[in-house]
Amino acid sequence: MSEAAPTNAGRFSSLQWAPWIVRPIVSFSLFAGLFFGAWHAAVVGFGVPPYLMPVPLSALEALVGNWPVISNNLWFTLSEAAVGLAFSVVLALFVAGLFVTSPTTAQAVFPFAISLRSVPVVAIAPIVTLLVGRGFWTGVTVVTIASFFPILVNCLRGFMSAPPQHLELMHLYAAKRWQVLAYIRFPFAFPFLFSGLRTAAPIAVLGAMLSEWLTGTRGLGYLILDSAALRELELLWATMIVSMMLGLTLFWMMAIVERHLLRWRA
């Protein structure tokens, strides 16, 4: 009898997770079917020539036929986006903690962060290329800059959401600033951090691809640019589909990790 309890608990946990994972997949599959159906109907109905836009089946065939090339570039773009996101999280947490513990620093530095966010990534990428050079770290730097601000704003909201009574209790115990951040503010900021990550994940993919467009390094962005120059439209659209799926997958992964780590909030 004692061995049956964990099994039942595991089954119950799986049943709890199943609808939450299956429903988005089913909904997305239905939407994808409608999207590809509308795409095919528009191309056939309006008589769009293949050299302007292929039908979805041709793009999917190009995706399967060129998968070794696409997967190689996909891994490069994914690596840039993942490393850049990791750097932006560390930097945003550090800056947000500095802002919370030192309002004077926040008043001096936060306008600079806003002005940095207002600069287009297209203008930042060439400057990063001059400083870092062409290659993997150019994309990482661009991704870090592009995804930093939404994570910073959500971290600040999370740090400020700590209940006043918790902060007063830590003050009574003469806790240091880093202890207040680690034991009070950070746990309350955790959900806000994942909200920022869900927002920043598609931005990270776009930033990585944009740096590849401008620097000519390998990746999905470079593959799109190269296939457009060679008029290989089936490969171009196949790569665009993969890039959209990459952004969506990163968004879902952040949501899954958030649900797994924040089960205690339920």
Question: What DSSP letter does each residue of 90-152 carry, written as one string?
Answer: HHHHHHHHHHHH-HHHHHHHHHHHHHHHHS-HHHHHHHHHHHH-SSHHHHHHHHHHHHHHHHH
What proportion of the chain, given as a percentage, has pLDDT over 90?
30
Check residue 114 and give its pLDDT.
79
Quick one: pLDDT at residue 15? 47
Amino acid at 89: V
- What pLDDT is stored for residue 143 in this prediction? 93
When comparing pLDDT for 263 and 158, which is higher?
158
Which candidate, 26, 27, 52, places its Cα nearest to that of 39?
Answer: 52
- Higher-scoring residue by pLDDT: 262, 44: 44
**In this structure, what token pair is assigned to residue 157?**
């909201």
DSSP assignment of 203-261: HHHHHHHHHHHHH--SSHHHHHHHHHHTT-HHHHHHHHHHHHHHHHHHHHHHHHHHHHH
**Measured distance CA(107)–CA(103) in Å, rounded:** 6
Please, which pLDDT band fits residue 190 given cuts at 50, 70 and 90?
A: confident
Q: What is the pLDDT of residues 38-63, one digit of tens each?
A: 988 988 888 888 888 888 889 899 99
**Under CATH, what is the fold of the domain 55-259?**
MetI-like fold (1.10.3720)
pLDDT of residue 265: 57
pLDDT in tens, 95-119: 998 888 888 888 778 888 777 777 7
pLDDT at 180: 85
Q: Give pLDDT tens digits for 208-227.
A: 998 888 887 789 999 999 99
pLDDT at 7 over 60: no
The mean predicted confidence, pLDDT, of the chain is: 84
How far, in Å, CA of 244 to CA of 248, rounded? 6
Question: Per mean pLDDT, which of 6-10, 16-20, 246-250 is the most reliable?
Answer: 246-250
CA pair distance 220, 228, nearest whole angstrom: 12
What residue spans define the domains of the chain?
55-259
Average pLDDT over residues 155-166: 89
Task: Return phi, psi of residue 73, to 5°.
Answer: -75, -30
> Would you tell me the crossing angle of helices 67-101 and 186-215 to the nearest 10 degrees?
140
Predicted local confidence at residue 237, as pLDDT: 92
Which residues contact residue 139 at a Cβ distance below 8 angstroms, ignoring those fewer than 6 apart?
77, 80, 81, 84, 207, 208, 211, 212, 215, 217, 219
Average pLDDT over residues 176-192: 86
